[in-house]
Structure 1
Amino acid sequence: MRKHIVILGAGFSGMWSALSAARLIDLHQQKDIDVTVIAPQPELRVRPRFYETQVEGLTAPLQPLFDVTGVKFIQGVVSRIVVENKQVIFSNAASETQCVHYDRLILATGSHLDRSFVAGVDRHAFDLDQIESAAVLEQHLNGLAQCEDSPARNTVVVCGGGFTGIEMAMELPARLRKLLGEEAKTRVVVVERGPMAGARYSQALRDVVMQASEELGVEWMVNAEVEHIDADGVTLKDGQKIASKTVIWTVGVQANALTAQIAAPRDAQGRLHVNHALQVEGHDDVYATGDVAYAATDDKGNHALMTCQHAIQLGKFAGNNAAASLLAVEPLPYRQENYVTCLDLGAWGAVYTEGWDQQVKLTRADAKKLKLSITSELIYPPKAEKATAFKIADPLAPFV
């Protein structure tokens, strides 16, 4: 009887889950295990680059890669997971409701921004959450020059000083000057609820971010919380108002809502608790990976972050282990002890750190060169060549 591995999602973790599972099946020369990916489109959307321009082109096709590796792709949107019957319910490209059975399920559906806890975010704020919303922001920025010159037109407020907020904020001064002219009195403000810029990061990384902010003219408002957002800008909880036609929301990332359909422990961001094989607690036939997995990276108390760096490796281990369970071979315990960051700081350059303590190793042009290499090469899918793809899909192959 044929066995079926079903993977929900074609992002970084979903794509690598599929390739890794197909690799192990091929290695054992098994012909009776199918690997299927269900996602809205057969393409990788390069989310870490959504703060850049020409965002609609930041995709990579996956169908040729799936074809050469024997992975089946179904275009569809999943609505239900029926764990007790091992079924996935989805709407196909023709909006018809269909059902597929699985022997092993890999949940790789990613994350989204929660816009519900601050009034006006859903109606008046832009975001970089999905390629469609990032394209709307880009179109809006490109149209600002057609608006009457005013402080509101020239001011962009970035809500949240995490990595996404920082990279977007640092990109903006040069972009605004290009769009509005060198003489425009532009202003970029980061609203951060923490006590300092980059409060969650190492002192060394914070120092670099602040140096870049000062040289680029990016302002930080710390210990500040947003009360509401409207067409006129942002109102903070202390009553202060910032007039702006462009408010960008970057906080409140949550795991995809499908995680709630699995009766298992979840963290505050909705990520499912998994064991070292990335099996969801209490569900040996369900694996979670990428942004929907709360996974220990080592034995020191560190857990995977919602980053493509972790999603790629999580995907490789999840796919391998789902296939291993059907092949009756030992799984590979997920480990990712090396952790690095490479943060784009706009025209200033970038900063590269190593370790969970974020030791700064490179800055400015040297770090920028590395950043460009990572985002334009390393994180993209491999060539549509079976041997090449399978070599890289090995969970134990060097990554970072």
Structure 2
Amino acid sequence: MKRQILIIGAGFAGLWSALSAVRLLDQHGRDDVEVTVLAPQAELHVRPRFYEADVHNMAAPLQALFDAVNVRFVRGTAQRIDEAARTVAYRDPTGQEASLGYDRLIMACGSLLNRPDLAGFDQHAFDVDKIESAVRLEEHLKSLASRPDSAARNTVVIAGGGFTGIETATELPSRLRAILGEQVKPRIVVVDRGARIGAALGDGISPAIVEASAALGIEWICAATVASVDADGVLLDNGQRIAANTVVWTVGFKANPLTGQISGEHDRQGRLHVDGHLKVKGNDAVYAAGDVAYAACDEVGNHAVMSCQHAIPLGRYAGNNAAAELIGVAPMTYSQPKYVTCLDLGAWGAVYTEGWERKVMPPEDRAEAKKLKAQINTVWIYPPAAERTAALAAADPLIPVA
């Protein structure tokens, strides 16, 4: 009977875990280990693009790729993990429960928006966390055209001024004008607890955010949070009321709650502490990658963040090392000292930075940075073609992502 590597999740970390595991097994001529991916769909949902329009097109099919590299795909949603029995119980699309066994488990089940216990949130707030919720927002925005012209109709409040909030906010003016007409001047308001515009992203990048916001007419209300949401707007903790028919929540993410079923230390976001090989510390059979892994990416104290920039290499290392352990070859130590960002700022352009201090680097021209962002979003982060040799070559852990 073949030994089993089971991967929960078909996102960036799950996909690249699977490809990397198969790559190593191929290199050693081993056909006695089976790689299985368990996920609700054989699709990579391109989450970094969910702030854009036409979000329903941002799911890349994976079944042909899995077939090309002999990865078994099981459609279902993981429910319970039994570490003692080394099984994962899941529910299939019909609602039936079944289970899968594993010799090594790779947790690559991603992150979720941290949904607050806030009055009116569930009924009236939108988000771009999952493809379904981003589609819901898009449908809502399109429906605004059928409403009477009013300040509330033309106003969107973005709760949170981090990467997701900024990219969503700066994209909205052009999206809303396309829906409501060029004669309409949308009002986009970012509410952020930071003391100044772009504070969460640091001094290096904030001047570009300030300039883009001014050019696009985006307002910021700093040192404030949303206290409640209703159909007609928001109330802030400072007592200010903003009339708005659209509220988009982008504040805070946490690891998939499945991580709570894995023994070991967790960080405040629920991520699993892993060693240099991405094995969960103190755990005999479980690895973690992507948004569920609290992984040191260099020797000076920086840890991987919840982004595809880190999820892709984390997946490559985790898959390689899970397979390596099963066939008795040396694992590879995860290292990703280079950190970059390319922040989309809508029609204004984009800004590219390097280093954890986010120092603006060439291309400093905002139009050139925008071209780079488009290349990242439409080419670099997408899966490889369904051709075995090329796909497995792309899964080498030593390939730099940034």
How does the TM-score come out when normalised to structure 1? 0.98
* 1:207-252: CA deviation from partner (whole Å, max 9, x where unpaired): 0011000011001100001111111111011111101000000012
Partner of 1:316: 316
What secondary structure sits across from 1:302 in the alignment? coil
Within 2, Cα distance between the matches of 1:75 and 1:2?
A: 20
SS of 2:65's equivalent in the other structure is: helix
Match of 1:59 in 2: 59
* TM-score normalised to structure 2 length: 0.98
Match for residue 373 of structure 1 among 361, 372, 375: 375
1:113 is aligned to: 113
The residue identity in structure 2 corresponding to 1:100 is L
Q: Deviation of residue 387 (structure 1)?
A: 0.9
Aligned counterparts of 1:345 and 1:398: Cα–Cα separation in 2: 25
Cα distance, 1:101 vs structure 2: 0.7
Q: CA deviation at 1:195?
A: 0.8
Letter matched to residue 381 of structure 1? P
Matched with 2:328 is 328
Aligned residue number for residue 304 of structure 1: 304
- Decide whether the 8 Å contact of 1:202 with 1:359 is kept in 2: no
Q: Which moved more, 1:152-161 or 1:202-211?
A: 202-211
Correspondence for 1:394 = 396
Distance 2:120 2:331 in 1: 47
- For the 8 Å contact 1:313–1:395, the answer to whether it is kept is yes
| Partner deviation per Cα, 1:96-154 (whole Å, 9 max, x = no partner) | 11011100000000011121332221111000010011001001111111111111001
Q: Tell me, yes or no, if the aligned pair for 1:159 and 1:191 is still in contact at 8 Å.
A: yes
* Paired position in structure 1 for 2:140: 140
What is the distance in 2 between the residues matched to 1:231 and 1:352?
37
CA drift of 1:264 comes to 1.4
Within 2, Cα distance between the matches of 1:284 and 1:351? 43
Match of 2:73 in 1: 73
**d(CA) in 2 for partners of 1:363 and 1:88?**
50
Residue-by-residue CA offset, 1:277-314 (whole Å, 9 max, x unaligned): 11111113100110001100001110000001100010
Matched, 1:47 2:64: no
Name the counterpart of 1:383.
385
Quote how far apart the aligned CAs of 1:182 are: 2.5
Is the partner of 2:188 in helix, strand or coil?
Answer: strand
SS at match of 2:84: helix
* Structure 2 spans left out of the alignment, 5+ residues: none
Aligned residues of 2:8 and 2:39 also touching (Cα < 8 A): yes
Query: What's 2:343 paired with?
Result: 343
What's 2:211 paired with?
211
In structure 1, the residue matched to 2:256 is 256
Match of residue 278 from structure 1: 278
Distance (Å, rounded) in 2 between the aligned partners of 1:238 and 1:340 = 35
What CA distance in whole angstroms lies between the structure 2 residues aligned with 1:399 and 1:238? 42
* Residue 22 of structure 2 is aligned to residue 35 of structure 1: no
1:154 aligns with 2:154: yes
Name the SS for the 2:337 alignment partner: coil
Q: Percent identity?
A: 56
Supply the distance in 1 between the matched residues of 2:295 and 2:43 (Cα, whole angstroms).
26
Q: Look up the equivalent residue of 1:350 and give its one-letter code.
A: A
Is 1:293 matched with 2:287? no
Q: What SS class does the counterpart of residue 283 from structure 1 fall into?
A: coil
For 1:62 and 1:99, locate their aligned partners in 2 and report how far apart those are by CA, in whole Å.
Answer: 22
Report if the CA contact (8 A) 1:352-1:363 is conserved. Answer: no
Deviates more, 1:215-224 or 1:261-270: 261-270
- Write out per-residue CA displacement over residues 24-63 of structure 1, whole angstroms, 9 at most, x where no aligned residue: 0111001110000000000101000001111011111111
Task: State the 4+ residue runs in structure 1 displaced beyond 6 angstroms.
Answer: none
Matches of 1:367 and 1:56, distance apart in 2: 25
Aligned to 1:177: 177
Distance of aligned partners of 1:106 and 1:214 in 2 relative to their CA distance in 1, 3 Å threshold: same
Amino acid paired to 2:342: C
Q: Give distance in 2, aligned partners of 1:341 and 1:116.
A: 27
Q: Tell me, what secondary structure is at the counterpart of 2:152? A: helix
**Residues 81-100 of structure 1: matches in 2 within 5 Å?**
81-100=81-100
**CA–CA separation in structure 2 for the residues paired with 1:376 and 1:339:** 20
The residue correspondences of 1:185-224 to structure 2 (distance < 5 A) are 185-224=185-224
Residue matched to 2:241: 241
Q: Note the C-alpha offset of 1:20.
A: 0.3
Task: Say if 2:366 is the partner of 1:364.
Answer: yes
| Cα distance in 2 between the residues matched to 1:65 and 1:177 | 39
CA distance in 2, matches of 1:230, 1:94: 35
8 A contact 2:161–2:200 mirrored in 1: no
Hey, what's the Cα distance between the residues in 2 that align with 1:335 and 1:117? 38
Structure 1 residue matching 2:190: 3-state secondary structure = strand
Aligned residue-pair number: 400
Separation of aligned partners in 1, 2:28 and 2:316: 17
Task: Output the amino acid matched with 2:179.
Answer: L
Task: Give CA deviations for 1:312-360 in whole Å, capped at 9, x if unaligned.
Answer: 0100000000001001111111111111100110000111111112111
Conserved? CA contact 2:272–2:294, under 8 Å = yes
Q: In the alignment, what sits opposite 2:7? A: 7
Give the CA RMSD over aligned residues.
1.0
Q: Residues of 2 paired with 1:196 and 1:85: CA distance?
A: 51
